[in-house]
Amino acid sequence: MSEAPAMRELLGLADGRMAMVGFGLNDAFWLTPLTSPLGLPRWSAIGLEDFSTRYFAIRSAPLGGGPDELVSSAFFGWHPSKIDRYLAAAWARTDPREVLQTVQEVADEVLRAALGGWVHTDDAAQAAEMLRTAAELRKDSIAGRPLFAGYAALAWPDPAAHHLTLWHAATLLREFRGDSHNALLVSHGIDACECHLLLAAAVVGGCECHAAFAAFGVRVDVSSPPDPANVADREWPAQERQDALARLADRGLLTPDGAITGQGMTLHEEIERATDRISALPTRRGTEDVERYIELVSDPLRRLRSSGAGGDIGELVSPD
């Protein structure tokens, strides 16, 4: 397949294995029920009109509406006050069970609309089976992965609904990688505020693993106030970001003005490689399977992109 390398990068595939479905399929499928205009009436009906309220409610719903501290721990990179604010708004209007039911119903509606007859094809069935297998292989590795564990405890959609199997599997793989990444950040002594500064500095410094983020205008910013109107803003106060920069500079990872050092780039790349490695660990698939998977999902991925159902990743998602 001539386009395989580009699609492999887009889908987040590494080392000839179906390691993780990264920025491409992951967020095209996962963001669909959050962002598609078709789903807005359903979300409005349960009081979740804005993206951020839906985002925090959907991701935390499998935790059962537990204490804010639990959710903040699992989400890791967001300032606790932002999480508290949106969850308080969400749970004042609805509950986790209704959110989980609604997100699946919305995913069903918008994916059917965007993908049309493809959802009934043999290609859809095969792609769903492959991605479900990749997700289920990780169920023995839930330790230390709270958001993945929460979604892994939920029942799979109807096997005949291939598009929903893909959506649920993509959600599982997304949370598996995110939980794995957070664990590695903690193990390397990088806290929830520092991780964003280190990544932004690495992007500006030219790291290959996040080269695409350069187009989003990523930069090290420790002076601007939090912007609640920006859904991607983690809302860390300027003083806390300044303190985080000072800690990273003391460790020799960044310079005092926010540029990444050689030591910092080495650590960043080490964490990213380790994240890929432990996220892919349960799967040992050959290159042929990956190439077949790319072939199966290329067209539906383009349909999601062209329909706008998968959202604008540049606007809605910031690196973490």
E strand spans, the chain:
none
C-alpha to C-alpha distances, 115 to 107, 178, 301, nearest whole angstrom = 11, 27, 9
Residues 61 and 88 in one domain: yes
pLDDT in tens, 258-309: 999 999 999 999 999 999 888 876 665 544 477 788 889 888 888 887 776 6
Q: What average pLDDT is seen over the chain? A: 86
- Residue 285 has a pLDDT of 53
Q: Using CB atoms within 10 A of its CB, is residue 5 exposed (0-12), middle (13-18) or buried (19+)?
A: exposed
Residues 104 and 49 in one domain: yes
Residues 160 and 238 in one domain: no
- Residue 37 has a pLDDT of 92
Residues 205 and 258 in one domain: yes
By percentage, how much of the chain surpasses pLDDT 90? Answer: 63
Q: Does the pTM of the predicted model rise above 0.85?
A: yes
Residue 167: phi, psi to the nearest 5? -60, -45
Residues 224 and 124 in one domain: no
Q: How many angstroms separate the CA atoms of 272 and 220, rounded? A: 19
Candidate from 8-22, 47-61, 145-159 with smallest mean pLDDT: 8-22
Q: How many angstroms separate the CA atoms of 166 and 310, rounded? A: 14
Residues 79 and 178 in one domain: yes
Residues 253 and 225 in one domain: yes
Residues 221 and 302 in one domain: no
Q: Is residue 56 in some structural domain?
A: yes
Q: In this structure, what token pair is assigned to residue 294?
A: 């790319």
Range of the domain at 245: 194-273
Q: Is residue 279 in some structural domain?
A: no
Residues 78 and 152 in one domain: yes
The total of structural domains in the chain comes to 2
